[in-house]
Chain A
């Protein structure tokens, strides 16, 4: 076991990691930040997306020991300072972009990363960017709307199309 320290959601956090401990397990079991989810074992589903040093990665693809000193943002760090939902989170609620909630943390983290790179994405941009995030509940319809709305673009309100 090795002590690994990262800045997680703005705070310095330390927990043990074996050589084989994945970032997602370090977050979930080491820090008990259970908002980051594990939905597969082949790095396909995207439920574990977090931001490392400002860029989105699947937390099942990185070893915790290799990220000693990294700056990590998880879904638990996405709310505003006053505790209210951040813009992407709020859009997901407003546009019913989630049902069971399991893929949602990864979706929100990917969507936030997209909007950082591409503040006004087209529908096609959103759909292609989210290729690495699987949702089984929503058919993506309202996720796409939520991301477009979070970017400040006009979309039809829910239940009014």
Chain B
């Protein structure tokens, strides 16, 4: 029987009412009195030297307040990078300056050259068009392998090369892995591309800077997943504003998916310009601008080798990946192909030896950083694709090959640093197979064939590391910040609570799910609890929401702070009821004394805390407000098994997804409705990556997919209804809620099953094509079936490398 309230219930979301009635307050809805508007002049070439910027005509135009170029930013810091990777040779990564406005050179289409501040946005845009910029074009640097070749054009003249770092993991295993490859009964090799994507939250980025001269306070309203992180990075590294003089507010935010984690130049610009002009400055990104200024995701070019013994046990995995950093290092960029990717290369399997090599490369493209899953989809895709390929080469069932190699004993120390605490990969696989009626597949395939279609079934597993992250560990790995989370629980005199959290909700429904936790602990209705988030002025220093961490880390902080509240409340109750503290119990919002009929309501105790007439003042302070900072001691490890069934039209190569099933182990679940919604959204993004989405640059560095006319965003008719299940739960052992995180699973787990399914469909008609690079567009699938090339190999980016068929 589903619960009505508390942990495990699915109450309707309280935030929905404002969103459904047009009362949401997104950043673009904020206008500050006296506001000006800024429009950025962005580079329309990928790479070049700025010879001159003539702003004279533009400055004279109606409404123009001031035009800024890089010379106005002397003494201002660059946009910082939050993670430092060390290369195999012991050197730290190359880290170029990322100026707020381009200095001397432009390095990608969209690089901001000048900023026009005017009374209205239209006036700013008109004036922007009157600026004359002279650029000496330099060769674009697009192909990663060419970028690191001898003599390649350098993106940053001051660096040694375009190689940001060359990372080996675990370097000590390198020779042993080489030996295992030689000793193997079978080695399956696969070269693949993890296609470059654009996160595309539906709300474009917005920033509003404000400054009050009488107290020297700067305020930034911004579309961020982590306002405290923005305050820290921008205040300390770019603009030199101490935290107490800088407030960052991220109100309702219309989706993030990673790309709103990072500190962006436009945020620094609006904050800086508001102070310089002593007027508010607002920037609203157009969607076209978003395509060329929001950090992109994925873009890995990989070779993976899987070694097996004669009994089909995996004996070693080796991968070599080229990871695109773009032109500058975005906030988390260096960590994505390394610690969020290499550490997952054991997958769900007891492979004893793993070696991962990642070469991170600068190119003249938009910076690349975390996008839903961040590193873990890239790891999962390689592993689950190469296993399927191995099964096909060996003529064995892909499910049985996986099962043969499943990890079954926990905790399990992987050869890639992380230790899985719990999991049951057989359980999720068993569940999945019952969901999809695998036994009935052959009959369904025959039905498709009778209609001239090819049917395929693809299955894969995944594991991810979420609940990011243990601060001490990530500090050793190169993180320049801690990754704890914070919560302050304020109990009011009449018993209601306000929970101020460092987590940030931009679709996850924290205002609904977090109260479920607190309500359960105290035994009061959820409507007694209010969640405050998104404003550095009224929340404790916290690291925000990404990496499926809100509940596992932020929720655990709320749990700990509420524990402190309950402990103090029990002391007060013990005093009032003249009982021993150890005998006090709290249940259903009532304090009782064990073995007696004495009881005291929650509200009586909270009132006593603020009206301390009968109160143990000699032992404890009045008031009832507690803060906790929770720092996890391990990652969490959600896992699962996914299946996709497709039909391919052999005449056109078009793929239809007929069904998609996900059996996930998220540990304990607080709100099943919200969890399922997260999985649905993740699956849609994963299917989008597999079949539709591709961020394409041409050889000259022009962004070909720069609008919704060119970038294939998934629509409602691209999907079937999804089957999702989270009943196989092995609770996390090291956080107080036993939760693992669910936000990224769908995007991590789904691309391999889609591709596996399409290849299975093609194989059923005798087309054993080995691999097709995502997205599996009709043109690529048709070309693969007809040996027409264009299946894509070698390097990323649509047109320049994928062969003729990929142009379509």
Contacts and interface: CB of A to CB of B under 8 A. Distances in A.
A101 B15 contact: yes
A138 B202 contact: no
B709 A85 contact: no
Contacts of A74: 22
Contacts of A64: none
B719 interface: yes
A99 B255 contact: yes
Contacts of A102: 24, 26, 201-203, 254-255
Contacts of A42: 287-288, 707-709
A103 B254 CA distance: 8
A96 B20 contact: no
Contacts of A81: none
B19 A134 contact: no
Given A139-B684, A140-B684, A100 B202 contact: yes
Interface string B645-686: 000000000000000000000000000111111001111110
A23 interface: no
A40 B287 contact: yes
Given A100-B253, A159-B672, A44 B709 contact: yes
Nearest to A144: B716
A62 interface: no
Contacts of B538: none
Contacts of B721: 123, 141, 144
Contacts of A104: 19-20
B715 A130 contact: yes
Interface residues of A, number: 59
Interface in B1-28: 2, 10, 12-13, 15-26, 28
A142 B684 CA distance: 12
Interface in A127-147: 127-128, 130-131, 133-144
B24 A127 contact: no
B713 interface: yes
B633 interface: no
A93 B253 contact: no
B506 interface: yes
B17 A76 contact: no
B113 to A, nearest CB: 20
Nearest to A108: B20
Given A18-B122, A134-B715, A75 B673 contact: no
Nearest to B672: A159
B709 A159 contact: no
A134 B723 contact: no
A103 B29 CA distance: 15
A103 to B, nearest CB: 5
Contacts of B13: 93, 96
Given A45-B287, A47-B202, A93-B13, A99 B677 contact: yes
B49 interface: no
Contacts of B674: 96
A94 B673 CA distance: 10
Given A99-B255, A138-B684, 8 more contacts: A45-B708, A85-B20, A92-B16, A100-B203, A102-B201, A105-B22, A127-B715, A141-B722
8 closest A-B pairs by beta carbon, nearest first, are A35-B22, A101-B19, A102-B254, A139-B684, A100-B507, A44-B708, A99-B507, A159-B672
Interface of B: 2, 10, 12-13, 15-26, 28-29, 122, 200-204, 252-255, 257, 284, 286-288, 506-509, 672-677, 680-685, 707-709, 713-717, 719, 721-724, 746
7 contacts: A45-B708, A75-B22, A89-B21, A137-B202, A139-B683, A140-B684, A144-B721
